[in-house]
Amino acid sequence: MKQLKNFGEFESLRQELKVKEAENEKKVRIYIAMATCSIASGSAKVLEYFKEEMPKQPVEFVIKPTGCLGLCHSEPTVEVVLPGSGPVVFGKVDTKRAKLIIDEYIKNGKLIDGVIEEN
């Protein structure tokens, strides 16, 4: 990132990034927990899988490795936000479940078992 020299430059960068963030909302967003706890339960493989499989799908997407949501009981967790829908968090995701998430939820909008309640 280039050096920000004053408040004005910071503010315009902020606005620019907010616009970009808003554009991302039109895409499928996949957040993969990558904290120590998540990695210990296998999230690195899940991240790898999404990175490999998503480019083959006919949808626009963003994949983000993140910290954790604090859901230790269900790591690895993956949060998927389809354009226009609320976030859905899937628990205990391995590559098998990751495939299901892509095939059922991302492609067809059909929920699978093991969704963690968020209300």
Least distance CB 13 / another protein (angstroms):
7
Q: Which is nearer to another protein, 83 or 107 (CB)?
A: 83
Q: Which is nearer to another protein, 33 or 102 (CB)?
A: 33
Least distance CB 49 / another protein (angstroms):
18
How far is 86 from 114, CA to CA, in rounded Å?
A: 17
H or E segment to which residue 37 belongs: helix 36-40
Is the CB of residue 114 less than 8 Å from the CB of residue 78? no
Least distance CB 108 / another protein (angstroms):
25
Q: Which is nearer to another protein, 21 or 104 (CB)?
A: 21
How far is 12 from 69, CA to CA, in rounded Å?
A: 30
Residue ranges in contact with another protein by CB under 8 A: 1-7, 9-11, 13-14, 17-18, 20-21, 31, 33, 35-37, 39, 64-73, 79, 116-119
Is the CB of residue 89 less than 8 Å from the CB of residue 115? yes
Cis peptide before 76, with omega less than 30 degrees from 0? yes
